[in-house]
């Protein structure tokens, strides 16, 4: 029908499998292999793990329906900051192979592999597999990879063997892929256009590309003519490698019911949120350049301060005094607060630079690196309180609270 040499262009499409649900499974090992659905905050499924799909659960299904057909399904709220952390790490890995990467959405990207066989001394299939393996081993999720001569064909190829698939479609094998793709699965062809094309007995992507150019131009608008060309192996869509900068920071907070003014409790909760946010950043090897502690009053007014960190750090204990002063600048006696929290921003990759020997700060940082695993295992606490929500509520009317504290620099008997 039409002839396309094997590799006039080489485009890779990387797609996270059930991405939102897979991220939660990766961060919560007990959920591995279990049915998981995200979207409880909206009352409907926004992402469905492959294990949950076996029960007939699909996106958009109401949570009460999900519980009815699969009582053992774990339904959890979405966490877009966590998704973005995984997303940026995935894109960083992809960019380590190709400088031309398009971050198409939070869970998928395109990359131009043309000319990379010689530098890597690998075939295009081997490069695709190396990318796939590195993402999966680093993040604990599965991804599907498609490689072909245009973006439209690469996207079809990545969907061909899900989950955790790798499909290579050189120019001379395009027709095989198109013949196995129903027209509604083509990127850019929606439900209405698909129904319209089927009136002309166009049921597959191959049926579509077999139509003469005059048919496509007469019956359809310009975007569909571009799709028609892409499916025939003619490159129309370029790689847009301008970073979307979709990930900007991490926010952690807690609402108190009822609102409180107790300075010690607010400070302790704020520290917990700061530690939690930094811990999330460290998990993905980020240093933090800015911390913004905040308190929200009972009438929903925010009191925020900003602490710039130069150089960026990985451990908040290094700036514990500065954090305390920042908190005291926003806390006011006599005002009831409903929320305490923080946002960390200006994140940058931790490239582990060489440290100057024997300086006090670096000796402290070395000690902290040894101590923090104990903190993250919840075996010690850095100046925060050991209490739960019930304790807060029970003790709010009382004038004083005794707060057990463990410090790095001072031991407690």
* Residue numbers annotated as active site: 108
Select from 238, 287, 293 the least CA-distant residue to 267: 293
Phi, psi (deg, nearest 5) at residue 203: -105, -25
Structure tokens at 343: 């946002």
The whole-angstrom separation of Cα 28 and Cα 25 is 5
Cβ–Cβ under 8 Å, residues 254 and 273: yes
Tokens, residue 26: 């990766």
Q: Is the preceding omega at residue 269 within 30 degrees of 0, hence cis?
A: no
Tokens encoding 298: 């009972």
The DSSP H or E segment spanning 134 is helix 124-139
Give the distance from CA 368 to its chain's centroid: 28
Whole-angstrom distance, CA of residue 15 vs CA of residue 105: 9
CA atoms within 13 A on the CB side of 350: 15
């Amino acid at each position: 029908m039409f002839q396309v040499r094997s590799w006039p262009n080489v485009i890779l499409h990387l797609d996270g499998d059930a991405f939102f649900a897979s991220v939660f499974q990766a961060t919560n090992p007990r959920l591995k292999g279990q049915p998981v659905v995200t979207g409880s905050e909206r009352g409907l499924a926004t992402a469905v793990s492959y294990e949950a799909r076996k029960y007939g659960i699909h996106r958009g299904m109401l949570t009460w329906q999900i519980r009815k057909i699969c009582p053992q399904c774990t339904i959890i709220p979405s966490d877009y900051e966590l998704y973005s952390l995984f997303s940026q790490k995935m894109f960083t890995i992809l960019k380590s192979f190709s400088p031309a990467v398009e971050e198409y959405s939070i869970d998928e990207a395109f990359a131009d592999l043309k000319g990379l066989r010689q530098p890597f001394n690998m075939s295009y299939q081997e490069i695709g597999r190396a990318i796939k393996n590195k993402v999966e081993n680093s993040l604990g999720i599965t991804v599907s990879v498609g490689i072909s001569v245009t973006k439209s064909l690469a996207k079809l190829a990545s969907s061909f063997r899900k989950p955790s698939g790798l499909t290579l479609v050189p120019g001379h094998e395009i027709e095989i892929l198109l013949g196995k793709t129903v027209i509604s699965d083509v990127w850019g062809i929606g439900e209405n256009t698909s129904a319209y094309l089927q009136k002309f007995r166009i049921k597959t992507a191959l049926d579509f590309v077999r139509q003469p150019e005059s048919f496509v131009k007469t019956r359809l608008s310009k975007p569909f003519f571009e799709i028609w060309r892409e499916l025939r192996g003619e490159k129309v869509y370029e790689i847009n490698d301008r970073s979307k900068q979709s990930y900007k920071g991490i926010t952690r907070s807690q609402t108190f019911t009822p609102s409180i003014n107790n300075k010690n409790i607010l400070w302790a909760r704020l520290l917990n949120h700061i530690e939690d946010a930094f811990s999330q950043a460290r998990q993905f090897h980020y240093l933090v350049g800015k911390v913004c502690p905040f308190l929200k009053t009972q009438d929903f007014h925010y009191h925020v301060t900003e602490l710039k960190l130069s150089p960026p750090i990985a451990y908040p204990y290094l700036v514990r005094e500065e954090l305390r002063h920042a908190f005291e600048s926003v806390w006011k006696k006599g005002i009831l607060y409903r929320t305490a929290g923080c946002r960390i921003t200006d994140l940058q990759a931790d490239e582990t630079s060489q440290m100057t020997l024997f300086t006090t700060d670096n000796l402290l940082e070395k000690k902290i690196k040894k101590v923090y695993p104990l903190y993250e295992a919840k075996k010690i606490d850095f100046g925060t309180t050991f209490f739960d929500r019930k304790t807060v509520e029970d003790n709010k009317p009382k004038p004083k609270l005794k707060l057990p504290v463990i410090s790095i620099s001072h031991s407690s008997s």
